[in-house]
Amino acid sequence: MLTVYSEDHRQHDSKYEIYGGEMVPPHEMPRRMDMVLGRLKSENFGEIIEPEDFGMDAIRRIHDADYLTFLETIWAEWNASGYKGDVIPTVWPSRRVNNLNHMPDFPEGKAGYYALSSETSINKGTWPAAYTSAQVALTAYKIVADGARSAFGLCRPPGHHAAADMYGGYCFLNNAAIVAQKFLDDGAKKVAVLDPDFHHGNGTQSIFYDRDDVFYASLHGDPNDMFPHFLGWAEETGEGAGEGCNANYPMPPGTGFDVWSRAFEDACEKITAFGAEAIVISHGVDTYENDPISFFKLKHPDYVTYGKRIADLGLPTVFLMEGGYAVEEIGINTVNVLQGFESGV
């Protein structure tokens, strides 16, 4: 399996995030990629290649034009206003008391308009890193479209929390949605996005919620207890044409692989019944038992097991890196899934 990777991700290197009411070093950091790369190399897991540049067309198929302009320009506007730190919003449109029909001119207001949460800061290198992350994803797609069974896009920043016009959860561009749409634009009739990341992919769900050409399945921490809180309940099954094309599996603190794997099996069965012609994996490994911002209890061998089950689906498969914050183990768990997949093909 080819891995696509770019050093450009290092340009997005936030100084801190807000966590538990404190400014702390970000959980989502460049070193995460170093650990995955190190494991790929130590396991001799295939060739690692640079991404091609496919431009903005596929990104524009998913994301709002004004939102993209915001991502490209907000750092310069923030600095011009006199602010010294990273872009972190302090005010948001909120229930009942705000008018969403007007975009503020001041960058603080713009950031709040487009942000869904405050832990995700923007700095000078955020836009080029996010843009290249999408190119990593699109290059992985091209490898599969050209005939390979699978490819791994080692994307950073991640993407599944990014909606068409919102960022947060460390995500700016929704790489999985961009690739799913690319499959469709190039001729596929039905595509699945399978999201085993610990956190619900609220952005991916919102993008495809009323569509019947993408089936989205997410296994995640119960939104009563875990970010992003406001989407991810089991009763959210799609709407309009998309009714029945969205499957959420919220699970409580302490969930182990026995319970988790039953939900995973149900998701796989639904994807098969849907008739997907290709699958995009939002490849997060923050379900690990020692992850610092999660509460599932998966162990190293479990990742091999579910990697094999993905292979059993028999579909062209694009893996795209999402979460995983137990940094010392992220490489082990990430590569375990990929090795499991390879052993099952």
Q: Which residue ranges form the domains of the chain, and what is each CATH number?
A: 2-51+128-344 (3.40.800.20)
pLDDT given for residue 97 in this prediction = 78
Beta strands 22-24 and 317-321 are unpaired
Q: What per-residue confidence (pLDDT) applies to 344?
A: 85
Asked if 88 contacts 121 with a C-beta cutoff of 8 angstroms, the reply is yes
Nearest to 170 by CA among 178, 182, 162, 179: 162
Is 220 an annotated catalytic residue? no
The one catalytic residue in 9, 12, 27, 161 is: 161
Q: Which two tokens stand for residue 187?
A: 């001729």
Grouping H, G, I as helix, E, B as strand and the rest as coil, residue 217 is: strand
Strand partners, 17: 24
pLDDT at 338: 98
pLDDT score of 93? 87
257: closest CA among 281, 285, 238? 285
Q: Report pLDDT for 281.
A: 99
Q: Give pLDDT, residue 171.
A: 98
The answer for residues whose C-beta is within 8 angstroms of residue 68's C-beta and 6 or more apart is 56, 59, 60
Which residue stretches of the chain have pLDDT < 70?
Answer: none
Q: What is this structure's pTM?
A: 0.97
